[in-house]
Structure 1
Amino acid sequence: MSISVPLDDYDPSPAELEVIDAAEDVLTRVCMRRQGLSWKLLPRAAARDAEPRNRRRYGVVEPGIARVYGYHLPADRPTVARRAAAEAKRRKALDEAEKKAAYGPEGRPGKTTGGCLKEAEERLLEDVPDADFDLLDDTIGATYEQSMKDRSVVRVFRAWSVCMKRAGYHYADPMQALTDERWLKGSRVSKAEIRQAGTDVRCKKSTDLVPVWNAAENRIQRAAVKKHSPAFTKLRRAQRAWMAAAHRVLAKS
Structure 2
Amino acid sequence: MRRQRPRATLPAVLVPALTVSLLAGCSADGGRAEPTAPSASPAPTASLGFTPRRLELPVHAYQLSPADQVKVTRARNTAIAACMKRYGLSWSAPKTPAAPRQDRRYGVIDLPAAQRYGYHLLPTDDTAPTEQGEPPSKAETDVLTGGRLLDADTGRSHLLAGYTEPVREVDGKPVPSGGCAQEAERKLLGRDDLTSTAGVVSRINTESFTESMKDTAVKDALAAWSTCMRKAGYDYADPLESIATARLDSDEVPTDEIDLATADVTCKRAVDLVDIWSRAESAVQRRMIRQHASATAKQRADNETRVRNAVALTGPAGE
TM over 0.5: yes
How far apart in 1 are the matches of 2:79 and 2:215? 45
The letter of the residue matching 1:208 is D
Of Structure 1 and Structure 2, the greater helix share is in 1
Q: Using the aligned pairs only, state the percent identity.
A: 31
Residues 28 and 102, structure 1, Cα contact 8 Å, conserved in 2:
no
Asked if residue 195 in structure 1 is aligned to residue 244 in structure 2, the reply is no
Higher RCO (C-alpha under 8 Å, 6+ residues apart): 1
How far apart in 1 are the matches of 2:96 and 2:106? 30
> Offset of 1:203 from its aligned partner?
0.6
- The gaps in structure 2 that reach 5 residues or longer are 1-52, 148-158, 161-177
Asked if residue 19 in structure 1 is aligned to residue 71 in structure 2, the reply is yes
The letter of the residue matching 2:141 is K
Structural mapping, 1:46-195, within 5 Å: 50-52=99-101, 55-77=103-125, 88=131, 92=133, 96=137, 100=141, 104=145, 113=160, 116-127=180-191, 130-180=195-245, 182-195=246-259
Residues 32 and 116, structure 1, Cα contact 8 Å, conserved in 2:
yes
> Offset of 1:230 from its aligned partner?
2.5
- The gaps in structure 1 that reach 5 residues or longer are 107-111
Q: Give a deviation string over 1:167-221, Cα, whole Å, max 9, x none.
A: 12111111122223x4245332211111111111111011100110011111111
Residues 18 and 50, structure 1, Cα contact 8 Å, conserved in 2:
no
Say if 1:176 and 1:44 are closer, same or farther in 2 by CA, change over 3 A: closer
> Offset of 1:76 from its aligned partner?
4.0
The letter of the residue matching 1:100 is T
Q: 1:229 maps to what in 2?
A: 293
Say if 1:32 and 1:129 are closer, same or farther in 2 by CA, change over 3 A: closer
Say if 1:238 and 1:148 are closer, same or farther in 2 by CA, change over 3 A: same
> Offset of 1:69 from its aligned partner?
2.1
The letter of the residue matching 1:245 is N
Select 1:217's aligned residue among 273, 276, 281.
281
Q: Give a deviation string over 1:29-69, Cα, whole Å, max 9, x none.
A: 10221111223468999xxx7533x7011110012221232
Q: Secondary structure at the match of 1:165?
A: helix
| Count, aligned residues | 236
> Offset of 1:93 from its aligned partner?
7.3
Residues 146 and 180, structure 2, Cα contact 8 Å, conserved in 1:
no
How far apart in 2 are the matches of 1:103 and 1:75? 34
Q: Which moved more, 1:190-199 or 1:63-72?
A: 63-72
Select 2:313's aligned residue among 235, 249, 253.
249
Residues 161 and 172, structure 1, Cα contact 8 Å, conserved in 2:
yes
Question: CA RMSD, aligned part only?
Answer: 3.2
The letter of the residue matching 1:136 is V
Asked if residue 3 in structure 1 is aligned to residue 55 in structure 2, the reply is yes
Of Structure 1 and Structure 2, the greater strand share is in 2
Say if 1:138 and 1:50 are closer, same or farther in 2 by CA, change over 3 A: closer
